Amino acid sequence: MRIGYVFLPERGATDRLLSDLALRLLAEGVALAGAVQSNSSCDLHCDMDLRVLPDGPVVRISQRLGTASQGCRLDAGALEAAVMEVAARLDGAQVLIVNKFGKHESEGRGFRQMLADVAAAGMPVLIGINSMNRQAFFDFAGDLAEAVEATPEAVLAWSRSVLAEAA
């Protein structure tokens, strides 16, 4: 049971790292499940999209609340729809990649139950974390949490390592 996590402080950097890794692993024929995030239209607030792996839809998980808004822009319903899309694609996957252990996961929603179930079943998990929900992630994963250096080479090496162990 392996739960690797990555963290980069620059906005969007963890998303780019995991997206690039997913593309590389898919090109190598690895059976992936999960979701990676991309951000666009970052004039004031970015639009957040999740691409369901390996071949699923792109789900917009942000909502536009206006320029004066201060609240969370996450569309919880869209996130749960993305979780259901990922769940439908778990069969036969070798690795689960999830863009972030975010606020919803820290509160017991989002991908949290899937992360627990998949890890308990022995499928390796690689997830991004942020500073805001870091402690909630460590509380969730406990000593299963394994830091992976947040470089393209290191995440690829970690992924190949867990795939070799599972083979």
Handedness of CA 23, 27, 28, 29 (dihedral sign): positive
pLDDT value at position 45? 59
CA pair distance 144, 52, nearest whole angstrom = 25
| Number of separate domains in the chain | 1
Amino acid at residue number 110: G
Instruction: State yes or no: pLDDT of 14 exceeds 80.
Output: yes
pLDDT value at position 71? 46
CATH of the domain at 119: 3.40.50.300
DSSP class per residue in 28-97: TT--EEEEEEEEE--SSS-EEEEEEETT--EEE-B----TT--S--B-HHHHHHHHHHHHTT-TT-SEEE
4-8, 12-16, 72-76: lowest mean pLDDT where?
A: 72-76
Q: Which domain holds residue 89?
A: 3-166
pLDDT value at position 56? 87
Q: Please state the φ and ψ torsions of residue 25, each to the nearest 5 degrees.
A: -65, -40
- pLDDT tens column, 28-65: 999 999 999 987 655 555 778 899 999 989 988 876 65
- pLDDT tens column, 108-157: 999 999 999 999 999 999 999 999 999 999 999 999 999 999 999 999 99
Amino acid at residue number 117: D
